[in-house]
Structure 1
Amino acid sequence: MQPKALTGRDRDEALRVLQESGAGGPVLDVLVVGGGVTGAGTALDATTRGLSTALVEAGDWGSGTSQWSTKLVHGGLRYLQMLDFGLVHEALTERGLLLRRLAPHLVKPMPFLIPLEHRVWQRAYYGAGVTLYDLLANALPGHRALPVHQHTGRRGLHAEFPDLQEGRAIGAVKYWDATVDDARLVSTLVRTAHTYGASVASRTRAVGLLKEDGRVVGAVLQDLMSGRVLHARAEHVVSCAGVWTEEVTDLADTDGGLRVQASKGIHLVVPRDRIQGTSGLFLQTERSVLFFIPWSRYWILGTTDTPWHLDLGHPVATATDIDYVLDHANEVLTTRLTRDDVIGWYAGLRPLLQPGTKSGTDSARVSREHTVAAPLPGLTVVGGGKLTTYRVMAQDAVDFALGDRAAELPSITDQIPLLGAVGEAAMRRRMPALRDRFGWSEQLTDHLLHRYGSLVEQLLDLIVEDPSLARPLEHAPAYLRVEIAYACISEGVLRLEDIMMRRTRLYYEERRKGLGAVPEIAEIAVQWLGWGEEHEAEEIADYERRVLADEAAALEVDDASAAAARDRVLLGEVPDRAPVPPTGRDGDRQTGEDEEVRTR
């Protein structure tokens, strides 16, 4: 299937299809509400079954929970402690599919170390758990996706992670999982669904559900770019709203449905040279888990796990959150990290399913296995789950919606590679010639392959039109100018923040959330999106306000104060204190070469 670009015109066409479905035109088979990883996967599942499908999302693709994950595709090793073997086996199956067939360009193998403090019982305990992890993975059909685990002593542990304190462990168990750019996975899923025929419209909010004779027959939608309201009709409405699950269900005026608790997790990004190590590190804390994840030119450190009861659209990291992760990291490292070392940070919400429990349940003890339900005929709701198992959640949701028809139209998404997967190996073979041609580094070409796979060919076509696009961005040289142009004309960009936060990772990969690169990026967007000067100025001002708001929030010690500080800045109040973390360690900027960890 030839990849299709996703443009503003495609969004307009999707809105036309939606409007006509509610005005006497063809009724859609499936309308999916929610454009995170589960909704995007559901749209792909439905459209590849031959069903007429539309997908709507209130923000940008992946702008809710999906962009703020720990960046892991994993089997859920810690769920073995809950004896949740079914969930682990399911996740390992999906991990293998993503690595081998569906998205080998986006999902990359990564080794992790579990430090051991006790020579006998702990090695036996964790060794047995990881052995079971491997056995569940190796029981899957096809070739082994990742190596089996290994045991190592103190010397081997410190060879792979020199900055772990000497007295902290007598050895380690080394196992394998995988990393992924979560926002990129979502946008690629959306484009793949669009390529196979789905109509997709971002920044389109469901503000009501249409009902006839007690059955949901469609949705009332608002185009948030123009304010226009339209009615869309569908045989099946599928809600994949994550932490907004109850809000969407409430639109149907029913007491039924799933209960979801939002749990906040925050992550920090620190320069790669601040921690010596080639493998990731997995530790348990009293409230959550602590990951050290090698990520491009950085380490990602996280996470926390605390209930969130404020605005679901704007979780914030507080000074307390940042200090919690730093303090726990410093307890085990030989080096000492400070806030000056923090390049960026982000906060997101996990949609934890609450089957019959009260809202005060400790979210850290809730399994994240998903559930599908029908509060009313015609409305299917999927809740819970995690990024790794998005495809299974999508398949279950469409199966549930179709009922008996599911047997006639089985899911085939386990056989559908995402855009960029087919031909990635051949594109990899071309990289030495491209490095010679453009003067790109090996790290940069690895960066391109990890983000685009075989779609690098489309970037090269743009460079032929405009050779200046082959240059790195001046103030964010890990990215090429062509990546910004390509995002504008092929990846559904509508706003500057879409580029800064999801088509690139500049929001948390550069100090001050990439503000230094904004003028050049906006200039490219003007050229390829046709913005006027006034529109460009508005976009820049909006993004600058967001940066100042998130920096102001990170000065506060609790969620309520942080959310209030953020809101004040968004309403126009200028903070009178310096942002935290400060704007630079030693005042320099990053070299920009994307050191993707090459484990293949």
Structure 2
Amino acid sequence: MLEVLAKGGPAVPKQDGNSARLGPDAREDSWRRLSEETYDLVVIGGGVVGAGVALDAATRGLRVALVEARDLASGTSSRSSKLFHGGLRYLEQLEFGLVREALRERELMLTRLAPHLVKPAPFLYPLTKRVWERPYTAAGLFLYDHMGGARSVPGQKHLSKAGALRMVPALKRGALIGGIRYYDAQADDARHTMMVARTAAHYGAVIRTSTEVVGFLREADRVSGVRVRDVEDGRTTEVQASVVINCGGVWTDSLQSLSGTRGRFRVRASKGVHIVVPRDRIVSEAGLILRTEKSVLFVLPWGNHWIVGTTDTDWNLDLAHPAATQKDIDYILEHVNRVLATPLTHDDIEGVYAGLRPLLAGESEETSKLSREHAVARVAPGMVAIAGGKYTTYRVMAADAVDAAGSDLRGRLRPSITDKVPLLGADGYHALVNQTDHLGARYGLHPYRVRHLLNRYGSLVHEVLALADGRPELLKPIEEASDYLAVEAVYAASHEGALHLEDVLARRTRISIEYPHRGVACAAQVARLAGEVLGWSAEDMAREVEVYTARVEAERASQTEPSDEAADARRLAAPEARSRLGETVARA
């Protein structure tokens, strides 16, 4: 998969099409490489920023390894509002630079880097105040459009009350006096993060999940690498590196403490909760952006569903499993029902998810007012930390982090080029879209199914469907989760780094939030499909189903609790899929 010129020498990806395959064989090889090779950079954290740093560094010609204690995008990067947006509301906070930067990144994703994953989405901004609100909002959207918001999508369009109601018939007639339609973009955040990581692997980076940092190596006052444990089997090893980059998100401070170095900034966790409801519960041609007393509430189109959220509250409990409370859900329902002619109820909710935003701690006590800017610091010789920011600007954050590492690297650091590097699946995507009918005929699939696959895998679709050669049963939908084919569960384990049932149901697919059963009804089938790749015994499959079912039950229970503390206790009652996480390691 990779040719190593010499021990510690540069790794060069072979052009055999398999260098980005994150399967069981690659996992074993990556452990050997972590133990034997010396790296320019070791990246801690498999969220979008960590994956972005790995890709940025690898495409600059650096030797890179990324380690993640859980799964790719298992934290914040799978629990966002799933938007690539300029941050229209940041204009009110006069953060013009952040908006301009985010709109440039959105444009790159839509047109060059990830057109198979990032799609334009129309939104209606309902107007409720006469005289001043339309010109005020129009001025903001004029800035938004001219900063880059209307480069490859339509600009703002003003609508009368009747026109707005035709676009969104679900609204109460008294909830608006008119509206303005504008465009942003959205993506499946977990899939996008995973594809960034696979692209980094394609360019030579070692990507290894279920690999927890349990200590830091030092040479005098310098950080010289990390000590890691495989949380699947308990093995430990040391990874030597010129620079360690802390991309831990909400875990930034705890990793900083483990390293024994003082940080230059603090990170605060803000909890954001979203609910998922069926598409037919809100009749609309566009998403909605609604003002609240604290921030904004989005109603986002999501396939056959709507995502509604989010909340923005301080969180000081378990960082791995933030829990939504009944209070959070009631808040969302209360605010969205103020404008809907037919109110949503708890019975309409198919899924709920809670995530934590890693915000830079500021003077304001309200997390909704903390800056979404990011900060990078060389916190010690050989160690860089990055935190803050927003999903949309991950590529800029990654480039800044690698630049900051330059002072600890030998030789000249080449400039970042990731604005010119399409993610895997982007090349050839548009041509395949035009060939949808031919692809459907070739594989015996309905064109709508082919479009679904293209928007998840892009030009890797042939690689996915090749797994069904001689196995036509894999081209049938997963029972009780018919939006997905059985072959997708196999591919998640064979190519996309999924190691547990939870990884497949919660991140490689979004079955855990898109169906009322939240994945429990198809857990046994998916465990069999992934297990045949991962070598699971019948006992292993049973345990995976048991652990996943316990997770769902704990999440449901937490969502009936009135407080964060009670919800957190309920959620933590479920076992970890990665049962060795957090084990104490005796030093050799």
Bucket of the pairwise TM-score, normalised by the shorter protein:
over 0.9
Counterpart residue number, 1:400? 404
The answer as to 2:559 corresponding to 1:554 is yes
1:72-91 equivalent positions in 2, closer than 5 A = 72-91=83-102
**1:436 Cα offset (Å):** 3.9
**1:404 Cα offset (Å):** 8.9
Supply the AA of the counterpart residue of 1:191: R
The answer as to 2:382 corresponding to 1:362 is no
Q: Secondary structure at the match of 2:25?
A: helix
Contact 2:379–2:385 (8 Å) recurs in 1: yes
The answer as to 2:126 corresponding to 1:126 is no
**Number of aligned residues:** 559
Counterpart residue number, 1:563? 568
**1:407 Cα offset (Å):** 6.2
Query: Counterparts of 2:287 and 2:343 in 1: how far apart (Å)?
Result: 18
Supply the AA of the counterpart residue of 1:78: R
Supply the AA of the counterpart residue of 1:419: L
Query: Counterparts of 1:526 and 1:32 in 2: how far apart (Å)?
Result: 29
Query: Counterparts of 2:268 and 2:452 in 1: how far apart (Å)?
Result: 36
The answer as to 2:387 corresponding to 1:380 is no
Contact 1:160–1:279 (8 Å) recurs in 2: yes
The answer as to 2:37 corresponding to 1:18 is no
Counterpart residue number, 1:5? 21
Q: Secondary structure at the match of 1:58?
A: coil
Deviations 1:437-482 (A, max 9, x none): 5553443222111101111111221222311111111211100011
**1:568 Cα offset (Å):** 3.4
Q: Secondary structure at the match of 1:82?
A: coil
Deviations 1:399-429 (A, max 9, x none): 1101397964111100100000001012112
The answer as to 2:157 corresponding to 1:157 is no
Counterpart residue number, 1:293? 300
Equivalent of 2:491, from 482, 486, 495? 486
Equivalent of 1:319, from 312, 322, 326? 326
Deviations 1:296-330 (A, max 9, x none): 00000000000000011110011111111011111
Counterpart residue number, 1:43? 54
Contact 1:61–1:187 (8 Å) recurs in 2: yes
Q: Secondary structure at the match of 2:473?
A: helix
Question: Unaligned regions of 5+ residues in structure 1, if any?
Answer: 22-26, 572-600
Counterpart residue number, 1:197? 204
Contact 1:287–1:304 (8 Å) recurs in 2: no
Contact 1:288–1:303 (8 Å) recurs in 2: no
Question: Unaligned regions of 5+ residues in structure 2, if any?
Answer: 1-14, 577-588
Query: Counterparts of 1:256 and 1:382 in 2: how far apart (Å)?
Result: 10
Contact 1:101–1:417 (8 Å) recurs in 2: yes
Q: Secondary structure at the match of 2:433?
A: helix
Contact 1:258–1:381 (8 Å) recurs in 2: no
The answer as to 2:502 corresponding to 1:502 is no
**1:570 Cα offset (Å):** 4.3
**1:222 Cα offset (Å):** 1.2
Counterpart residue number, 1:579? none
**1:220 Cα offset (Å):** 1.2
Give RMSD over aligned pairs: 1.6
Supply the AA of the counterpart residue of 2:24: G
Query: Counterparts of 1:554 and 1:80 in 2: how far apart (Å)?
Result: 34
Counterpart residue number, 1:412? 417
**1:566 Cα offset (Å):** 2.2
Contact 2:60–2:413 (8 Å) recurs in 1: no
Worse-matched range after superposition: 465-474 or 333-342: 465-474
The answer as to 2:68 corresponding to 1:63 is no
Query: Counterparts of 1:229 and 1:353 in 2: how far apart (Å)?
Result: 33
Q: Secondary structure at the match of 1:227?
A: coil
1:183-222 equivalent positions in 2, closer than 5 A = 183-222=190-229
User: Are the structure 2 counterparts of residues 529 and 254 from structure 1 closer, same or farther at C-alpha, using a change threshold of 3 Å?
Assistant: closer
TM-score (norm 2): 0.93
Equivalent of 1:282, from 276, 281, 289? 289
Supply the AA of the counterpart residue of 1:171: G
Counterpart residue number, 2:547? 542
Query: Counterparts of 2:263 and 2:528 in 1: how far apart (Å)?
Result: 49
Contact 1:249–1:257 (8 Å) recurs in 2: no
Worse-matched range after superposition: 429-438 or 70-79: 429-438
Over the matched positions of the two proteins, sequence identity in percent amounts to 49
TM-score (norm 1): 0.91
